[in-house]
Chains A and B, each alone.
Chain A
């Protein structure tokens, strides 16, 4: 089996982010998963056991005095050092703002082909193929890379399953980043999840509200239904622009793209830009008082009615079932 590198994301204080499991699971589909982590010198020793339990067969710690103080280049240099040592057939990273740029710079440095935002990866007779969901899920595209390695960023939450836990062997390498080619980080606000609700991007259920909620106060209704279902809270651009919720909740082309099992749209008309961010949801429910709202064209279950009447009744029914 060929080696496959998986770039592991860490928090500002050096812990492994929860994106590690899915990038290792994706790597295990293609070959022998090798976790690559850029850390400050001496800070990586405690990470191997956890990464092994997530399926890494090897853990490659690349010590770098500038890890955490330079933007992305310590991760690029870590991937370059690990690629030289392990000669991988593929290099995988999470398609987050943080990691995809590190993957992209690595692709340039290694003169490798780059595939971004894969929703699944597979090895097809030795050829690595990535599947992408394009234009908000309207098209499914498969792509491959000519030459080796293939550098692929994987959409968060898209690859399911977990690689088999192992006792990972540890390799420690070191790297120095060129300060002139790096932006310096002078402030980190590593915001912990502000609520106990699941993260929007990876949530199995999402309840979103739109302009139909009418006010910031009324938006509480969305949160109440979300909490009754254990769902994340989303919003349309109209709701964000009206100040009902912060922009981080925006679902759609210019916000977060979600692909949950259940998506409930409350008072959202369903403009193309919004649908582009949610129409790959497995089941879509819409409640809107406007019979002509385009959201009904993609809804598996649509209710023409007043959200302020239907949602409280739904919450009550959910509570009754929960007993």
Chain B
């Protein structure tokens, strides 16, 4: 089986993330770019299947700027076999629609039986790209899975929603996405890191996956304005000397919150 794991490089959430308010885009220089943690879990789901099923190939696929290679190397050091990086200057500022179109075209080029993604990235957080990729490919999407069962020709799982949960299943090929409850990712070991340097990392342009850089005829979204909200500042602070509960009740009453 060929499993393609979709990955993304994102600003590290352990730092204050910045938006370039002039361009309306993520300021990628403002903090350390890392492989999105949810992608490590998606990769772990693929690697666990490969651990039990010889002949499985795990491919990483990412669309992103130059530095994305380091996120792909991280995934390779965890154990993925091959990485594919779609890199094209025409993709700067690509919206959800273009991102999905590009990933779908790249998937057609690489071939796959199963596509695994994280449920939502920590930067854009749209949580829709896997479903959009599935629509492009005319395939089922099984997303937001807390638990996944992969077998030779099918995939099944439990999907968490706001209202409870759903048991879902589909024949392969299919596109799935997993939540942070799906699998705890392994750490790359020293051997893995050494091996990763020799694993193939293929770079593809839009022309090489058969896409027109103008995306003629497709609607797109664009940022009109972006502004930093004034930082919240701390207000009143008191130290409890026996009456803080009553003072807090007074505050809530004066703010008409009770």
Q: Is B55 an interface residue (CB 8 A)?
A: no
Q: Judging by beta carbons under 8 Å apart, are B169 and A303 in contact?
A: no
Q: Judging by beta carbons under 8 Å apart, are B143 and A184 in contact?
A: no
Contacts of B95 in A (CB 8 A): 113-114
If A185-B167, A306-B240 are given as contacts, then 8 extra A-B residue pairs at C-beta distance below 8 Å, sorted by A number, are A72-B141, A109-B135, A139-B21, A143-B224, A181-B139, A186-B156, A301-B236, A303-B237
A72-B141, A304-B239 known; A298 and B219 CB under 8 Å? no
Cα of A283 to Cα of B247 in the assembled complex, Å = 16
A105-B132, A138-B229 known; A301 and B161 CB under 8 Å? no
Q: Judging by beta carbons under 8 Å apart, are A189 and B131 in contact?
A: no
What is B's interface to A at a CB cutoff of 8 Å?
A: 13-17, 19, 21, 24, 95-97, 100-101, 122, 125-129, 131-132, 134-136, 138-144, 156, 159-171, 174, 180-181, 217-229, 231-240, 243-249, 251-253, 255, 257-258
A-B CB contact pairs (8 Å), 7 listed: A71-B168, A96-B162, A97-B127, A101-B143, A146-B219, A299-B237, A302-B237
Indicate with 1 or 0, residue by residue over A102-142, a CB within 8 angstroms of chain B CB atoms. Answer: 01110111111111110000000000010000110111111
Q: Is A197 an interface residue (CB 8 A)?
A: no
A-B contacts counted at CB < 8 A amount to 271
Contacts of B228 in A (CB 8 A): 138-139
Q: Judging by beta carbons under 8 Å apart, are B255 and A283 in contact?
A: yes
Give the residues from 288 to 316 in chain A that come closer than 8 angstroms, CB to CB, to chain B.
291, 296-306, 309-316
Q: Judging by beta carbons under 8 Å apart, are B142 and A71 in contact?
A: yes
Give the residues from 266 to 289 in chain A that come closer than 8 angstroms, CB to CB, to chain B.
272-273, 276, 279, 283-285, 287
Specify the chain A residue showing the minimal Cβ separation from B243. Answer: A313
Q: Judging by beta carbons under 8 Å apart, are B226 and A141 in contact?
A: yes
Q: Judging by beta carbons under 8 Å apart, are A113 and B252 in contact?
A: no
A114-B96, A181-B139 known; A300 and B13 CB under 8 Å? no
Chain A contact patch, size range: 35 or more
What is A's interface to B at a CB cutoff of 8 Å?
A: 11, 17, 71-72, 76, 96-98, 100-101, 103-105, 107-117, 129, 134-135, 137-150, 153, 156, 178, 180-191, 201, 205, 229, 247, 253-254, 261-262, 272-273, 276, 279, 283-285, 287, 291, 296-306, 309-318, 321
Q: Judging by beta carbons under 8 Å apart, are A191 and B219 in contact?
A: no
Specify the chain B residue showing the minimal Cβ separation from A261. Answer: B257
Specify the chain A residue showing the minimal Cβ separation from B168. Answer: A183
Q: SS class of chain A's interface: helix, strand, loop or mixed?
A: mixed
Specify the chain A residue showing the minimal Cβ separation from B131. Answer: A101
Q: Judging by beta carbons under 8 Å apart, are A189 and B239 in contact?
A: no
Q: Judging by beta carbons under 8 Å apart, are B257 and A262 in contact?
A: yes
Contacts of B140 in A (CB 8 A): 71, 180-183
Q: Judging by beta carbons under 8 Å apart, are A191 and B163 in contact?
A: yes
Contacts of B127 in A (CB 8 A): 97, 100-101, 116
A147-B219, A188-B164, A317-B245 known; A310 and B144 CB under 8 Å? no
A138-B228, A147-B219 known; A116 and B166 CB under 8 Å? no
Q: Judging by beta carbons under 8 Å apart, are B251 and A301 in contact?
A: yes
Specify the chain B residue showing the minimal Cβ separation from A148. Answer: B219
Q: Judging by beta carbons under 8 Å apart, are B224 and A129 in contact?
A: yes
Cα of A314 to Cα of B143 in the assembled complex, Å = 43
Interface centre among A178, A187, A201, A253 (most CB of B within 10 A): A187
Smallest CB separation, A139 vs chain B (Å): 5
Q: Judging by beta carbons under 8 Å apart, are A139 and B244 in contact?
A: no
A117-B125, A191-B164 known; A321 and B258 CB under 8 Å? yes
Interface centre among B129, B132, B247, B248 (most CB of A within 10 A): B248
Specify the chain B residue showing the minimal Cβ separation from A299. Answer: B234
Smallest CB separation, A73 vs chain B (Å): 8
